[in-house]
Structure 1
Amino acid sequence: MSIIMEQIRKWDEEDSLKEYRNEFYIKENSIYMDGNSLGLLSKRAESSLLNLLDSWKNLGIDGWTSGEEPWFYFAEKLGELSAPLVGAKKEEVMVTGSTTGNLHQLLATFYQPEGKKTKIVADELNFPSDIYAIQSILKLKGLDPQEHLIRVKSRDGHTIHEEDIIQSLNEEVAVLVLPTVLYRSGQLFDIKKITKAAHEKGVIVGWDGCHSVGAIPHEFHNWGVDFAYWCNYKYLNAGPGGVGALFIHEKHFDRTPGLTGWFGSDKQKQFDMKHTFTAAATSGAYQIGTPHIFSMAPLLGSLQMFGEIGMEKIRNKSLHQTRVLMELIVQELSGFDFRLANPKEDARRGGHVSLEHPEAARICKSLKELGVVPDFRKPNIIRLAPAALYTTYKDVYDTVQIIKRIMQEKHYEKHSNEREVVA
């Protein structure tokens, strides 16, 4: 059955999250479909940042231990608020560092090559920064990445077969590092299944949750995930350069972090100023330097909304909106050489739709010119991400209609088919 405007209006009227759109700053006459790359600013995030600035203004150095949000314990508080989003105990999550910096920390801790067990498995579709970090760690260990990094091949250039991942885990593999969702195609891996299979083969498992946390509920603790890490500026709307986060399963709390620093200390001993490191008994041990308070502050306001809503409602709306988007693409854009590169099944799809076209870069430039903010990824992918907290069904419908207009009028031909400096 065709999707018509009457149905779109009905879905918007019945949307249980529609009031949260009013929490965000949305540019007039603009449709923002890039929340999987950088989420929009919310009024609560703005307020929490201004409150932390105010504490500096009024308290000076006493802001570390005084005021509404003492800075000394702020990372732990944000970790506790983040824990329900990934199915973790509050002690297992810490807001700290950056995605790549945290991966360096985690590999420095968990990658301990011994005997024949020296290899790290990733996938060939992984985000480049993760691969750079793995290569760097291997070199620091005196190992050749060409030999000791195994990248599981894609059969179609868009997705990875989970059986191929599991098959790659032989007796030489020490650590498996995978994204929860492939950043180009939006494929969601079966985290529980892969983690279990890896553990049966004696492999430590780490997950990059950048393209899932805030859009998809996880159960990292119950699934036995060893470690995970993610950014907070995509679906969690923490702002550009927002501080990252990491998860350490409590079964590993007895490990000393591979990279130690002052803020990983037991807080009762940190200011003893001794040269013997006494690690925090939780994931807090994985902090290195002083928390970036103002880069963390917006996340507080954002996490308050996620705590009110719960991840199940967010996931349900996200799945429905991406399903509607896919159906509209098929309905309205047939004959224009588009191809859906993301999995169609709900259980295998992340929070964005991946649309393939030979003129993708030009089409994205036209979309921006006509008021839609998409995301381009080389070589030919248009990523469209309805964000559950602020995207309407009308936004989804209008986006497809604007793409249709671009193709009918050949509007894209005025642009070069090359990416901008920041795609």
Structure 2
Amino acid sequence: MAGKRNLASGVRRATFTAVALATCLIAATGAGAAFASETSVRSAPAETKPKLASVVDQAVAAGVPGSIVRVDTGKGKPLTISRQALWSVNDHKLAADDRFRMASNTKTVTATLVLQMVAERRLGLDESVEKWLPGVIPNGENLTLRMLLNHTSGLFDYAWDPQSLAVMTGQSDVYPAPLELIAVATSHPVHFAPGEGYSYSNTGYIALGLILEKVSGRSLPSLIQQRIVKPLGLKDTYMPANTSTEKQDSQLAHGYEPDAAHLAPLIEHLGVEVPEGFGFVGPARGKRVDVTAINPNWNWAAGSMVSTAKDWATFDRALLSGRLLPQAQLNQMRTTVDDGSGTSRYGLGLEEVHSSCGTVWGHEGSLPGYRSYNYTDKVGKRTVSVLNTTHFGLQADPKAGAAEAALVDAAICTMLGKPIPARSSG
């Protein structure tokens, strides 16, 4: 299921073993690479400035349409870099402070709200789903909130249903509501009995969003505003209204995906049955499509939040330093299960990721046109964000995927104050 999850679930496990593949990129990233750049490297260690910028350059030259990198070592001002392919500049000039669709990073916010309610004794991690959503999920009496949070529920991921794939690509204008997503998911068999395995599922987080609204009496966007955005002073972070229409944010980075012809080999490789010509809807950009106008807000509590690298660093720092949760709930959040990747483990809406330079905590997310990695150290002192303006393009092109893996690893190493591996810096 790993390949299928990469395609449709809105999240991809960090695969740092793929960094070794980046060595094949060096010859392809020399003089002549066409991209626009913006770099602010004010207080990072001098030796890391050109090295990390070089790795970002390599990623764009290898096929990543655009990349924003922000590294805060906890000392002085952060290092920020943005790069984009020249062909994309007329759509939108990418900047380090652009807003970005954070996709499954949203799960960390949803989980934080659940754990705040647990701390207030309004919810219990081992309470049944049936208690809060009676009759909504089959076998809900044997499913707990904890299982939804750490993906051990066994629930089918709605994103894998053909109806969801059609909405995801813009081929369908049918806009599913949260209860409809759950109905789609529960029309499929479960992967395993509750608590008997691990399978990443957006479905569980849709259920958690409904539970949060029920227990609080507020809409999820307003709950996020009240408990996360306002207390932390986040200026560019919001959950869009869960509607079929959306006024496009002028400060939103543009996202791109392969056109139908170049997407087809990836779909075929993963064994997904789709109609002929299946692809993303949007303005053509050579072999790519600008997918920015595709509305992803139906992913709601599982993956619809918009933010910036700076704002998300503020959130991660507050979370892991204990500002948003009591220690008991933070410890629960960092209690992990094996996710089968070999490079990470999953807690309660929080990933424990093992890079070549050390362990970090956070999440990653993927939507059409958007791939984001946001991490911090265990105490919330250092932060790093890598935001790339494609997801499926990295799956379809091994060179671009390897270059991205090298970039994420290099950025984490920079955050941790360790040398960038030679294979990443070229």
TM-score normalised per structure 2 = 0.27
Going by fraction, where is helix more abundant, 1 or 2?
1
User: Whose RCO is larger (CA < 8 A, sep 6+)?
Assistant: 2
Highest Rg: 1 or 2?
1
